[in-house]
Amino acid sequence: MEEGKYAKELDVAVRVVHMACSLCQRVQQKLVSSSDDGHVKSKDDDSPVTVADWSVQATVSLMLSETLVENLSIVAEEDVQTLTKADSEGLLAAVVNTVNECLAEAPKFGLQSPPGALGTSQILEAISRCSSNGGPAGRYWVLDPVDGTLGFVRGDQYAVALALIEDGKVVLGVLGCPNYPLKKELLNYPQNYNQTKSKTSLSTATWEKGCVMYARRDGGGAWMQPLIHGDRMLEWPNSATQIWVSPIVDPALATVCEPVERANSNHSFTSGLAETVGLRTQPMRVHSMVKYAAIARGDAEIFMKFARAGYKEKIWDHAAGVIIIEEAGGVVTDAGGRPLDFSRGVFLENLDRGIIACSNAILHEKIVDAVYASWDSSNL
């Protein structure tokens, strides 16, 4: 990677996300090939959380603390309350084992492993350390250890998202997409695509899917590396290719992404909006921040999300994806055309109706205009 501001932080973050993706793949293979759901717990909001969420959070926290000499501040999604309950002993043991397995692979990604296996208290401390509330001042990392946990549990799309925010502005972002197919057509595969693979063919298929995308706020563009698996490489570095958004400006030819989950997204409004703008392509419903990846890589042109009343967007669901799209040449704003504000804490406060990400300013302006035209007649 080129030198410059945040060069070291970005280099470390990319390696750590590669490690986290390797960890997730191991856990996901166990989940989809086993009927045992003991490693899946339900959080207070009923979304599934797996051993991968806590293991990734611990691993990222530990590796950033070890490699970046600074008073590390991390905003992340998980806490240790569930893990420390009496009936979670098996889950906690699985997290400890998973983290230590992952840390042992660090040299393959050009990072240093701890001198020995870490104990339960060290790993719980690493998870708990991620308790920053963000805000307008200072430097802090933002992590979503497994974005799209529902997709993860189903063997479908999910992402590991890591971003660095300084004084309220996103300055770098890394997005690991372990199941992102190298062929765009496979994004519309059935959800059980991975589950239908035998273990032998799954290991072969990994060559055809998985990537890590990244960017920093310097106009240097967005980049993509093929996902590195701990069992198939001997040493870093990994090759990177620059990615750009799609050049399509005609709405009739554009592909729109929207969330799979209806719980926090108004599909009826986005479908009415699509008709108003003249979007004819079937929407691509994808779990997680992979939607941002699809636009950054030119596989789709538009992502719209209009949350239902009462739902508040969290910064870790958007920070990494936003900077990658912008550095790839795209535009991301709220539905009023204003930049997203990451300086207000854990939530994207003062969000005007929803989020619109587009591959170019022409499409973006058409969508924003259509929102203003359609809003009064909508049921939001």
pLDDT recorded at residue 196: 42
Beta-bridged to residue 211, according to DSSP, are 177, 226
CB atoms under 10 Å from CB of 299, counted, come to 24
What are 122's two structure tokens?
């060290």
pLDDT recorded at residue 70: 67
- Are 135 and 345 in contact, with CB atoms under 8 Å apart? yes
**Residue 202 pLDDT more than 60?**
no
144 annotated as belonging to a binding site for a ligand: yes
The dihedrals phi and psi of 115, each to the nearest 5 degrees, come to -60, -25
What are 75's two structure tokens?
């905003």
Give 274's pLDDT tier (boundaries 50, 70, 90). Answer: confident
Q: Rounded to an integer, what distance in angstroms lies between the CA atom of residue 90 and that of residue 377?
A: 52
Beta-bridged to residue 173, according to DSSP, are 163, 215
105-123 per-position pLDDT tens digit:
999 999 999 999 999 999 9
Percent of the chain with pLDDT over 90: 61
Give 179's pLDDT tier (boundaries 50, 70, 90). Answer: very high
Euclidean distance between the first and final Cα of the chain, in Å?
A: 45
Give residue limits of the domains in the chain: 7-243, 251-377
89 annotated as belonging to a binding site for a ligand: no
The dihedrals phi and psi of 55, each to the nearest 5 degrees, come to -65, -40
Q: Which residues are catalytic?
A: 53, 149
In b/e form, how buried is each residue of 333-366, taking b as 16+ CB within 10 angstroms?
A: bbbebeebbbbeebebeebebbbbbbbbeebbeb
CB atoms under 10 Å from CB of 111, counted, come to 18
Peptide bond before 259: cis, by omega within 30 degrees of 0? no
Beta-bridged to residue 42, according to DSSP, are 48
CATH architecture label of 251-377? 3-Layer(aba) Sandwich (3.40)
282-321 per-position pLDDT tens digit:
888 888 999 999 999 999 999 988 887 788 999 999 999 9
CATH T-level topology, domain 7-243? Fructose-1,6-Bisphosphatase; Chain A, domain 1 (3.30.540)
77 annotated as belonging to a binding site for a ligand: yes
149-167 per-position pLDDT tens digit:
888 988 889 999 999 999 9
59-87 per-position pLDDT tens digit:
999 999 999 966 789 999 888 998 999 88
Whose tokens are 């563009």? That residue is: 221
